[in-house]
Amino acid sequence: MATGDVKLLGAWASPFAMRPRIALNLKNVDYKYLEQNLGGKDELLLKSNPVHKKVPVMIHKDKPICESLVIVQYIDEAFTSGPSILPSDSYDRAIARFWAAYIDDKWCASLFSIARAKTDEEKATAVGGVTTGLGLLEQAFKKLSKGKGFFGGETIGYIDIALGSYLGWLRAAETLAGSKYIDETTTPNLTVWAERFCSDAAVQDLMPESEKLLDFAKMLLSGKFDPPK
Amino acid sequence: MATGDVKLLGAWASPFAMRPRIALNLKNVDYKYLEQNLGGKDELLLKSNPVHKKVPVMIHKDKPICESLVIVQYIDEAFTSGPSILPSDSYDRAIARFWAAYIDDKWCASLFSIARAKTDEEKATAVGGVTTGLGLLEQAFKKLSKGKGFFGGETIGYIDIALGSYLGWLRAAETLAGSKYIDETTTPNLTVWAERFCSDAAVQDLMPESEKLLDFAKMLLSGKFDPPK
């Protein structure tokens, strides 16, 4: 569906900015993508998101919507084209929101803490948080996917978007650490899921190149940048 | 509406546990309230919320739902009795979700940082965060309430619940600091709103007594407790 009245302010390395783009692809909504310079702040970004001054921002019919998961829910509700992103049942919807909140509030904090850890103990705690979280998500996947390919069932849903958007960063973290966080032994379902997610038509052109992301991650670690959010 | 199949695991001092209780009151849903001992963890709590092991948990038809704002949204969707808590328009709903996320992710962090601050500078930063946030919320109120009594219009809505549940703690923080964060000069609309919110039939019996909360806050500050969440 072509709308012509959707703009998306994003940044290539931001997992959060990837989320509404995946949702718009799933809904077959055409949109104008405006890559933002993470080092500076464009006037449109400051005007559209004066509270956080961060990507992503979606502008629909000249009205801005901010915060990645808020935007994804809005896209699901405002565009009836394409599959539903959140489940239709209210209890299932609550479970999807629970896991998405877990991913952003708890798991993501551990992921970004790995790079920021100043001592071996801090690093071990962060790595432990990531692997424990992936263990919980592996269990959740088995329960929620019901033998299908995604947390959302046959197609990419809300939890898939929430977790999948971090896969580029997770891989960068794996490369830096020299070990896998998602692997066939401890998280066999997530291993297959991650490959399926990244090769989905709605995602494949949005996942950042590993090398480029790794260079960017190293720049972040050098202290020249705040992590994107 | 009597359901008989709703249980709510909460704790009197928790702003988060207050939220689903307000929502259930607004929807006229009878429920069994199970006060939890914050010092220990009951078996039902551990079983119902194995990920966070925290209140609130709502159990509906034997199925648990966790995370306060997830529960409030579930209540709004599952019970058609009483007024809608989230707006009916998808854009307005996105705005309500945005402000609720702001309150929990940013503003609340400043509020709880006041008590935890170890230096005058840290305290000034935390107080600055609280007052800046209240300034933003004062502006948001003017825009969203459209001259009515609540963020949600004529009745208590999603942002009202998200922010209002902190009023007991905000008042405790004001008493400890000896100064007002919500006052008639800087936040005249929020001042009137706070009184209206606390005296609403759905809220008045849930707001903790100031003295009791202050004693509890002092106990938290003494390091004998983690803050409830």
| Sheet arrangement for strand A6-10 | A32-35, A6-10, A57-60, A63-66
Q: Are A216 and A14 in contact (CB under 8 A)?
A: no
Contact (CB<8Å) A136/B77: no
* B129, two tokens: 């965060």
Same structural domain, B74 and B174? no
- B65 near A CB under 8 A: yes
| Lowest-confidence region among A195-209, A215-229, B199-213 | A215-229
The DSSP call for residue B150 is B
Looking at the structure of chain B, the number of domains it has is 2
Strand partners, A34: A9
Residue B85 is assigned to a structural domain of this protein: no
Could you tell me which of A185, A190, A155, A151 has the C-alpha nearest to residue A170? A190
Instruction: Examine the fold and report which residue of A25, A53, A78 is the final residue of a domain before the chain moves on.
Output: A78
* B221, two tokens: 């500050």
Nearest-angstrom CA–CA distance, A36 and A217: 18
Same structural domain, A109 and A190? yes
User: What is the DSSP annotation of A131-152?
Assistant: HHHHHHHHHHHHHHHTTSSBTT
Decide which of B224 and A139 is more confident: A139
Same structural domain, A30 and A99? no
Contact (CB<8Å) A97/B63: no
Q: Are B220 and B115 in contact (CB under 8 A)?
A: yes
Q: CATH code at B50?
A: 3.40.30.10
Same structural domain, B71 and B133? no
Specify the pLDDT at position B104: 97
Residue A226 is assigned to a structural domain of this protein: no
Chain A residues lying within 8 Å of B60, measured CB to CB: 91
Nearest-angstrom CA–CA distance, A7 and A61: 9
Compute the residue count for chain B: 229
Task: Kindly report, residue by residue over A29-72, the tens digit of the pLDDT.
Answer: 999 999 998 777 899 999 999 999 999 999 999 999 999 999 99
Same structural domain, B113 and B13? no
Nearest-angstrom CA–CA distance, A132 and A128: 6
Same structural domain, B216 and B111? yes
Tell me the residue range of the domain where A62 lies. Answer: 6-78
Q: CATH code at B138?
A: 1.20.1050.10
Task: Kindly report, residue by residue over B23-56, the tens digit of the pLDDT.
Answer: 999 999 999 999 998 777 899 999 999 999 999 9
Same structural domain, A131 and A182? yes
Same structural domain, B107 and B60? no
Rounded to the nearest angstrom, the minimum Cα separation between A56 and chain B is: 13
Specify the pLDDT at position A224: 65
Q: Are B203 and B156 in contact (CB under 8 A)?
A: yes
